[in-house]
A and B are shown apart, each in its own frame.
Chain A
Amino acid sequence: MAAGPYNYSYIFKYIIIGDMGVGKSCLLHQFTEKKFMADCPHTIGVEFGTRIIEVAGQKIKLQIWDTAGQERFRAVTRSYYRGAAGALMVYDITRRSTYNHLSSWLTDARNLTNPNTVIFLIGNKCDLDAQRDVTFEEAKQFADENGLMFLECSAKTGENVEDAFLDTAKKIYQNIQDGSLDLNAAESGVQHKPATPRNPLNTDQTPNKEGCAC
């Protein structure tokens, strides 16, 4: 990271969760690199991506935590949820089992983040419409019933990927503006950075101090 003034005024922490093979890392890669990785390696533990975006004229740095999807890693990845301002919850429209597990992912997301965390449901692989196993309508209904934002996306073609990440940021920003998200609250998942030279004592991101819960 270059020294000198910050070139962004906020940092938002995101997490990406969902079953293995739904395309979490590919979505992240598409968003940060604007490219599709056909043979995206699977994530072991956690990986990390960043991109600076602009919302309402404000530069925001998204710090995105991409987690492993396999069940046995959940005990470990749960410790990364804390302090997330946004959670992208992903299923694969061609595999119903990944949709059926959403309620358990949602329970984790709700229990381990703060009440203002924006949860965005993504139905990935919408380019594979011929192999569709989950309809748009039923996922939309699930999203509405649970107060989630929702889009079908394709990490392969890039369709709606920008929108999912950006709409989440807009919603978080809106929550800050209308006061429903208190930036001073611990674990809001948002840090405000004045656009002035960096303070050497200031740390960029401070997740939980208790360390790993695993």
Chain B
Amino acid sequence: MAGGTEKFGHSDVDGYGFKRTEDFDYKDYEEFMSQYLSVLARRASRWKDIVGTDESSVSKSSKVKRFCRKGIPNEHRAMVWMSVTNADVSLRQNTGLYEKYINEKLEPKVEESIKLDIHRTFPDNIYFADIQDPQAMRRPLKHVLTAIARKNTRIGYCQGMNFLAGLLLLAIQNEEKVFWLMDTVINKILPDFYGPDMLALKAEQELLGEVVKWKLPDVHAHLEELSVQWCLIGMKWFICLYADVMPVETVLRIWDCLFLEGPKILLRVALTLIKLNREKILACRTFPEAVDLFRDLVKDPSTLHCHTFLESIFKETGSFPESKIKKLREECIERVKKDS
């Protein structure tokens, strides 16, 4: 399978196998791609210098961080993701463990939950829709989710993890690597997001509210006035890490940063979406209008232009001092603990 960018024009399926919707704007997409291709070419040549000749790993330097923010070329994406998260170390140190997990029995309730969601994962993607296809992704998806649940018995399976695993499979094309990367994401990068009490996930949504209050107080006040709850806005965005929410290429670019920099990236993306739509949000006069707007704004043409959008998540949101975010996050965790 080719990456998401080579194939464009009037194909009704994108490079990752997603069927395009009837109202897909081919003209806008072609305009975007004609510019983006030159960005990709430049990035490819720049990356060549840092991946070295053996192309086995990259270090976690400030240069790599800068490079990740500008996008990892498709051909290096799997290696860089595995490398910056140290998932490649887990993979090397645990030979055979993945094979063992996929052959072990799960608790029936967990097994049933996974089974129920396999056919509901990206049904509009040709690799997930077609069971007969030898390249079909349903089997690997089931394997990865089973192995994750088997290794992380406390977490088991959380709805939404299917989209995370599904898109990783499309991007990486190797289920064992996907398993170790996903295991690293749920345990090290976003711990407690997916556990039975989803503590960190809820806290992160509260934190989004605090960040909006800090950066865009008028929007915060307006949404409070309309009684729009932060968990209503952020739930799917944060659980799926924007997979099945935003355009695929944009999600992968977000992940390029997220896997290296952590949950702050999720907040930056959310804040950018809110800031870009500030006027529209302030114009909402009712609660349902606001809910509808938040559902639609992730599909706004600005989100398709992934390069500009990713630039804006750093430009538009201003500084995100680690100490301030950490303090706010701790307060949110305490609040969520108290409420539950």
A binds B: yes
- A interface residues with partner B (beta carbon < 8 Å): 1, 20-21, 38-42, 44-46, 48, 50, 63, 68, 70-73, 75-76, 79, 97, 200, 203-209, 211-214
B230 within 8 A of A: yes
A203 proximity list for chain B (CB < 8 A): 226, 285-287
- Please list 29 pairs of residues, one from A and one from B, whose beta carbons are closer than 8 Å in the complex, sorted by A's number: A1-B289, A39-B120, A41-B120, A42-B116, A42-B117, A42-B159, A44-B160, A45-B235, A45-B236, A46-B235, A48-B291, A48-B292, A70-B113, A70-B158, A73-B159, A75-B197, A75-B340, A76-B198, A76-B231, A203-B287, A204-B285, A204-B287, A204-B288, A204-B289, A206-B227, A212-B229, A212-B231, A214-B231, A214-B336
Which single member of A38, A45, A209 contacts B227 (CB below 8 Å)? Answer: A209
B217 proximity list for chain A (CB < 8 A): none
A211 x B287 contact (CB < 8 A): no
Which single member of A75, A207, A209 contacts B198 (CB below 8 Å)? Answer: A75
A20–B195 Cα distance when bound, in Å, is 17
B230 proximity list for chain A (CB < 8 A): 211-212
Q: Beyond A72-B197, A203-B285, A207-B287, is A45–B232 a contact (Cβ under 8 Å)?
A: yes
Residue of A nearest to B119 (CB): A39
A41 x B244 contact (CB < 8 A): yes
Most chain A beta-carbon contacts within 10 A, residue among B160, B206, B226, B227: B227
Interface of B is mostly: helix
A205–B289 Cα distance when bound, in Å, is 10
A146–B252 Cα distance when bound, in Å, is 50
Instruction: Give the number of chain B interface residues (Cβ < 8 Å).
Output: 42
A12 → chain B, closest Cβ, in Å?
A: 13
B301 within 8 A of A: no
- B interface residues with partner A (beta carbon < 8 Å): 112-113, 116-117, 119-120, 123-124, 129, 158-160, 195-198, 202, 205-206, 224, 226-227, 229-232, 235-236, 239-240, 244, 285-289, 291-292, 295, 336, 339-340
A42 → chain B, closest Cβ, in Å?
A: 5
Q: Beyond A44-B239, A212-B230, is A68–B286 a contact (Cβ under 8 Å)?
A: no
B295 proximity list for chain A (CB < 8 A): 48
Q: Beyond A40-B120, A72-B158, A213-B339, is A45–B287 a contact (Cβ under 8 Å)?
A: no
B287 x A76 contact (CB < 8 A): no
Residue of B nearest to A206 (CB): B227
B340 proximity list for chain A (CB < 8 A): 75, 214
Residue of B nearest to A50 (CB): B288
Residue of B nearest to A22 (CB): B116
A211 proximity list for chain B (CB < 8 A): 224, 227, 229-230
A104 → chain B, closest Cβ, in Å?
A: 14
A46 proximity list for chain B (CB < 8 A): 232, 235
A38–B120 Cα distance when bound, in Å, is 9
A27–B19 Cα distance when bound, in Å, is 24
A9 → chain B, closest Cβ, in Å?
A: 16
Beyond the given A41-B123, A45-B239, A214-B336, could you list 10 further A-B residue pairs with CB under 8 A, ordered by the A residue number?
A1-B288, A20-B113, A20-B116, A21-B116, A39-B124, A46-B232, A76-B235, A206-B227, A212-B231, A214-B202
B289 proximity list for chain A (CB < 8 A): 1, 204
A125 → chain B, closest Cβ, in Å?
A: 13
A43–B266 Cα distance when bound, in Å, is 20
A32–B252 Cα distance when bound, in Å, is 33
B277 → chain A, closest Cβ, in Å?
A: 17
A205 proximity list for chain B (CB < 8 A): 286-288
Q: Beyond A68-B159, A70-B159, A76-B198, is A48–B227 a contact (Cβ under 8 Å)?
A: no
A44 x B159 contact (CB < 8 A): yes
- Kindly list the 5 A-B residue pairs having the minimum CB-CB distance in the complex, ordered from nearest: A45-B235, A39-B123, A204-B286, A212-B229, A21-B116
A143–B115 Cα distance when bound, in Å, is 29
A20–B88 Cα distance when bound, in Å, is 35
A48 proximity list for chain B (CB < 8 A): 288, 291-292, 295
Most chain B beta-carbon contacts within 10 A, residue among A38, A73, A207, A212: A212
A161–B196 Cα distance when bound, in Å, is 33
B286 x A214 contact (CB < 8 A): no
Q: Beyond A41-B244, A209-B227, is A76–B202 a contact (Cβ under 8 Å)?
A: yes
B202 x A1 contact (CB < 8 A): no
A1 proximity list for chain B (CB < 8 A): 286, 288-289
Most chain A beta-carbon contacts within 10 A, residue among B159, B224, B339: B159
A20 proximity list for chain B (CB < 8 A): 113, 116-117, 159
A208 x B197 contact (CB < 8 A): no
A50–B288 Cα distance when bound, in Å, is 10
B287 proximity list for chain A (CB < 8 A): 203-207
A174 → chain B, closest Cβ, in Å?
A: 25
A212 proximity list for chain B (CB < 8 A): 205-206, 229-232
Most chain A beta-carbon contacts within 10 A, residue among B119, B198, B285: B285
A75 proximity list for chain B (CB < 8 A): 197-198, 340
